[in-house]
Copies of this chain bind each other. A is one copy, B any other.
């Protein structure tokens, strides 16, 4: 699969795909005889995984670490598991924070609605 297709498929620019590879956010992609990237099924899975994790704000630095561990093989299974557990925990914490803010916003919105209603009432009475 050529870079343009992968770009299309995952809605990431070719520049971003090359950048991800450059910094080790995805393993190196093989080139054909004329030096052009040819993404395997595996490569695409990595791209999808990384896009998904970046999408929720997981930092590039952590993901690079994960890819590095992966490339070192089975000896890093434990570290990779720990890394995931740690990130899962942080994710859950962020979600809790967001949940609180969501509730707070709901309260604020309700209060705005009331204030606006009262304004209108005041106006119609004054008519």
Contacts and interface: CB of A to CB of B under 8 A. Distances in A.
Given A98-B95, A104-B52, A77 B112 contact: yes
B56 A98 contact: yes
Nearest to A104: B52
A119 interface: yes
Given A81-B109, A81-B112, A84-B109, 9 more contacts: A56-B94, A78-B116, A81-B116, A84-B105, A84-B108, A87-B105, A88-B105, A91-B101, A98-B98
Closest 10 CB pairs of A and B: A81-B112, A88-B105, A56-B98, A56-B101, A84-B109, A77-B116, A95-B98, A84-B105, A91-B102, A84-B108
